[in-house]
Amino acid sequence: MSRGRYRTGRPWLRLLVATVVVLVVLGPVVWLASLSFKPPEEWLAGRPTIIPRDPTATNYLVLFAPGLPGGAIGEALRAAQPVNRALINSLLVAPISTLLSVAIGFLGAYGVSRFRVGGNFLPFSVLATRMFPPIAFAVPLLVYYRTLGLIDTRLGLILMYTASTLAFSLWLLKGFIDGVPRHIEEAALLDGASHWRVLFTITLPLVRGGLAATALFVFIMNWTEFLFALIFTSRTAVTVPVQLSQYVGTVGRFYGPQAALGMVASLPVLVAGYAIQRFLVRAFTFGLVK
């Protein structure tokens, strides 16, 4: 397809549209970045500036060592928990549960797509777990978790996230696996390959773009999940989103540290997204495989 075909209109009009789009999309990000370097006086300044008048790294410092900086922020957040633990928790919980969710989802999707495992009932019932507001599960699960000793543990969160994103993994991957021509797998079977060999040497490589897209999607969900983390953790297993909420507490609103943590929290997603970018392109061109 020729790209030029869609280039219509005058150059200045295109520039205008592009500018508006960039402002709308990147505006909040720029705002967040700017805020994260501002001292308390500028957080709520009547005439905010994009470049901080008096840039400071205190907001970042206070995240990792709450008692270290002096001044109003250091004083107020002296008792706050350092962000290190939340970061480590999130960096363990989100990737591990993503991996589990995608792995289980892939095998499940393969069974559903190729062998019609569970007929129509199984894929639908997996999806049905997402048809209730998550909060509806909170109280019963709290009871389960207490009995099992999973409250405020990483394992508890990993199980929770794996289960709650499985529906997405399964359904997204089912779509990608459905798109792999059956004949290709049959040809491999006739060539003497076992089902497992076909799965790992034929199907898996052919849907790896879809796997990457699904993994990124699930990772973002897990990385940003707030409700369950808030309910099921208290101290040991808190994650970044929960930590983030602590900066808007009873002692005041700490927009600066919050923005700083927001910036830090977006890094892993950016890195993950960038790392799998080339697979994503494959996912979107997957329709060309016939």
Partner 1 sequence: MSEHEVLIRLERVSKVFDDGTVAVKELDLDIEEGAFVCLLGPSGCGKTTTLRMIAGLEHPTTGEIYLRGERITHWPPQRRKAGMVFQSYALFEHMTVHDNLAFGLKARRVPRRQVRERVRSMARQLELDDVLRVRASRVDLSTMQRVAVGRTLLAEPDVLLLDEPLNNFQAGLREQMRVQLKSWQYQFGRTMVYVTHDQEEAMTLGDRIVVMRDGQVEQIGEPAEVYRYPTTLFVAGFIGLPPMNFLPARFDASAGRLTMAGAGVEVDASSLRLDRALEEMVVGVRPGHLSPAEEEGADGRPRIRGRVELVRPTAAKTILDVKAEGGQTVRALVPSPFSTAPGDPITLAFEPRHLVVFDPSTKRRIS
Judged by the rule CB under 8 A, the positions of this chain that interact with partner 1 are: 181, 183-184, 186-194, 197, 201-202, 205-206, 289-290
Which CB atom, from 78 or from 278, has the smaller least distance to partner 1? 278
CA–CA distance, 58 with 74 (Å, rounded to integer): 9
How is residue 82 annotated by DSSP? P
Which CB sits closer to partner 1, 41 or 191? 191
Of 90, 83, 123, 115, which is closest to residue 203 (Cα–Cα)? 115
CB of 120: closest distance to partner 1 in angstroms?
A: 13
Half-sphere exposure in the Cβ direction for 30 (13 Å, CA): 10
Instruction: Tell me the closest approach of the beta carbon of residue 177 to partner 1, in angstroms.
Output: 14
Rounded alpha-carbon distances, angstroms, from residue 150 to 143, 189, 226? 10, 44, 17
State the minimum distance, in angstroms, from the CB of residue 186 to partner 1.
5
CB 36 within 8 A of CB 262: yes
Pick 190 or 267: Cβ nearer partner 1: 190
> Cβ of residue 171: shortest distance to partner 1, in angstroms?
23
Query: Minimum Å distance from CB 196 to partner 1?
Result: 11
Q: Which is nearer to partner 1, 23 or 187 (CB)?
A: 187
Nearest to 258 by CA among 23, 33, 28, 94: 33
Closer to partner 1 by CB, 110 or 223: give it: 110
